[in-house]
């Protein structure tokens, strides 16, 4: 296990109920793609104020109080400035209670901004909207899982546990997850099909949080003003129900590792008729993490069942997807970003041939502005997606390939909005578009920088 770095303190409370209503409407900033494709930039970033969290209007460059996402309003009345200073002090205290990856590198500012954005997005009950926009204002299990991992790896274990706690509350009795949930945990907002990869991602995130939590009793920081992190065992016991249900479902989907899971939508969020690597690989990662969690809880039979299933599923994935060069579909075809999922930090060891396939996937996924599309067969609209581009930075860093990781991180850094947020998309002309900040991309940046910090 990797060493725990940093410790958690109580954070600034954020009211996620404002997500659906805080969007600042307007014409947006129209940017060009290819073939006449135009996608607006719906928000340039976010702000944290005494009233809550709101978006920055597109076309606006927001200035913040140093080290925060609290707006700098020098002309405001004294009482207002004092309230903003109080908010800023609280956010700085939260940041100081953990670690900022990439300190001293060209990516430090991006890391601080990404952490402050995640701090603002995580609700009091642990729900994390994908972004502050009416169409993104839902909690996707996948995105929330990556946010939990990033928070834990940067020393904010309490917040990470809160995010997993929300996922435990919305999880079905059989261990499955819907594609997304309303932020009040009432259920899915529509009739889209459940996504099987959610079970794997949540188990993987639980493993990341357990690795980051301190092994023994945590000491309260000097002065006792900040709370200590829960221990690794505390976290495992507190989330035992989540672990048990998700493990049961992963075992059922794969028949204990004797078969691939059935077809399901994955991060592409489209209906599928055959199994995708984007479904099978997260379940493999989840089963490996589940085996470690059950070992921690001193339940050898459950640990063995998860471990045996992971070994069996690894063989099935290598025999089916691997024999075809790890394409998106088990039947073959183009590769997609899921080639990253069969490499660290998601699985304990790379699958046979996976790194070669992952490197080969870049060329057909590269887009005119220099980032990556979700897959080689994605529509040729010229748009780069930061979730996949930052995912490749994370994978490269986890493989020890600093140069490649820093290349992708540098590209993301150069394509942030004028307010410093990481957008979901970048158009062919290099313009940020859609929503900013995007939680999944922000989490990936932090995880990648954390992995780079661990390299010699």
Is the model's pLDDT at 16 over the cut of 60?
A: no
Per-residue pLDDT, 219 = 44
Q: Which of 18-27, 151-160, 191-200, 300-309 is predicted least confidently?
A: 18-27
CA separation for the pair 197, 232 (Å, rounded): 25
Task: Determine the pLDDT at residue 294.
Answer: 98
In this predicted structure, the answer to whether residue 36 has a pLDDT above a threshold of 80 is no
pLDDT, residue 123, reads 97
**Are residues 432 and 388 in contact, defined by beta-carbon separation less than 8 angstroms?**
no
Spacing of C-alpha 53 from chain mean position? 20
Provide mean pLDDT across the span 298-318: 98
Q: Which residues pair with 332 in a beta bridge?
A: 329
Q: How many whole angstroms separate alpha carbon 164 and alpha carbon 126?
A: 7
Q: pLDDT at residue 225 above 60?
A: no
pTM across the whole model = 0.92
Q: What's the chain's average pLDDT?
A: 91
Longest dimension (CA), the chain: 67
Straight-line distance from the first to the last Cα atom of the chain, in angstroms, rounded to the nearest whole number: 17
Rounded CA gap, 31 and 434, in Å? 10
d(CA 439, CA 116): 11
Give the pLDDT of residue 130.
98
Lowest mean pLDDT: which of 167-171, 204-208, 228-232, 366-370? Answer: 228-232
pLDDT-derived band of residue 229, with 50, 70 and 90 as boundaries?
Answer: confident
Which residue is listed with tokens 């990856």?
101
Residues 6+ apart with CB under 8 A from 119: 11, 12, 14, 69, 91, 94, 95, 159
Which stretches within 337-385 are classed as H helix? Answer: 354-360, 362-365
Cα dihedral sign for 29, 30, 33, 38?
A: positive
Please say whether the beta carbons of 154 and 450 come within 8 A.
yes
Q: How far apart (Å, rounded) are the C-alpha atoms in residues 64 and 72? A: 5
pLDDT band of 39, cuts 50, 70, 90: confident
Identify the pLDDT of residue 341. 98
Instruction: Give residue 37's pLDDT.
Output: 63
Domains in the chain with CATH codes: 133-360 (1.50.10.10)
pLDDT at 415 over 60: yes
Report whether pLDDT(174) > 70.
yes
For the cut 60, the answer to whether the pLDDT of residue 214 exceeds it is yes
Structure confidence at residue 38 as a pLDDT band (50, 70, 90): confident
Tell me: pLDDT of 233 over 50. Answer: yes
Is the pLDDT at 46 greater than 80, yes or no?
yes
């Amino acid at each position: 296990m990797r060493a725990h770095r940093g410790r958690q303190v109580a954070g600034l409370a954020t009211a996620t109920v404002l997500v659906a209503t805080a969007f600042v409407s307007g014409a947006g900033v129209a940017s060009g793609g290819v073939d006449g494709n135009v996608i607006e930039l719906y928000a340039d970033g976010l702000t944290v104020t005494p009233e809550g969290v709101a978006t920055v209007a597109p076309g606006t460059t927001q200035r913040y109080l140093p080290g925060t996402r609290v707006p700098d309003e020098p002309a405001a009345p004294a009482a207002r400035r004092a309230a903003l200073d109080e908010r800023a002090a609280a956010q700085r205290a939260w940041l100081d209670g953990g670690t900022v990856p990439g300190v001293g590198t060209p990516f430090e500012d991006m890391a601080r901004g990404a952490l402050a954005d995640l701090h603002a997005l995580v609700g009091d009950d642990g729900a994390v909207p994908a972004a502050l926009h009416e169409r993104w204002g839902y909690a996707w299990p996948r995105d929330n899982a990556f946010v939990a991992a990033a928070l834990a790896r940067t020393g904010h274990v309490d917040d990470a546990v809160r995010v997993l706690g929300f996922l435990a509350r919305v999880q079905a009795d059989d261990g499955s997850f819907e594609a997304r949930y309303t932020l009040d945990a009432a259920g899915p907002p529509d009739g889209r099909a459940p996504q099987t990869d959610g079970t794997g991602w949540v188990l993987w995130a639980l493993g990341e949080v357990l690795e980051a939590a301190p092994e023994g009793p945590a000491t309260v920081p000097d002065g006792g003003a900040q709370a200590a992190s829960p221990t690794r065992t505390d976290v495992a016991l507190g989330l035992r129900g989540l672990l048990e249900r998700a493990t049961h479902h992963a075992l059922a989907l794969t028949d204990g590792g004797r078969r691939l899971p059935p077809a399901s939508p994955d991060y592409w969020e489209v209906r599928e008729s055959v199994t995708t690597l984007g479904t099978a690989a997260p379940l493999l990662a989840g089963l490996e993490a589940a085996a470690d969690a059950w070992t921690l809880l001193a339940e050898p039979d459950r640990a063995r069942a998860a471990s045996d299933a992971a070994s069996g599923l690894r063989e099935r994935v290598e025999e089916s997807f691997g024999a075809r060069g790890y394409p998106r579909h088990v039947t073959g075809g183009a590769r997609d970003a899921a080639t990253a999922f069969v490499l660290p930090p998601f699985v304990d060891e790379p699958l046979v041939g996976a790194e070669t396939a992952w490197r080969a996937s870049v060329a057909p996924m590269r887009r005119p502005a220099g980032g990556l599309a979700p897959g080689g067969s994605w529509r040729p609209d010229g748009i780069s997606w930061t979730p996949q581009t930052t995912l490749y930075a994370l994978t490269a860093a986890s493989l020890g390939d600093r140069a490649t990781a820093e290349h992708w991180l540098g590209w993301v850094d150069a394509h942030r909005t004028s307010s410093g947020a990481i957008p979901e998309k970048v158009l062919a002309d290099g313009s940020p578009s859609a929503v900013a900040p995007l939680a999944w991309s922000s989490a990936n940046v932090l995880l990648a920088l954390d992995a780079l910090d661990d390299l010699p």
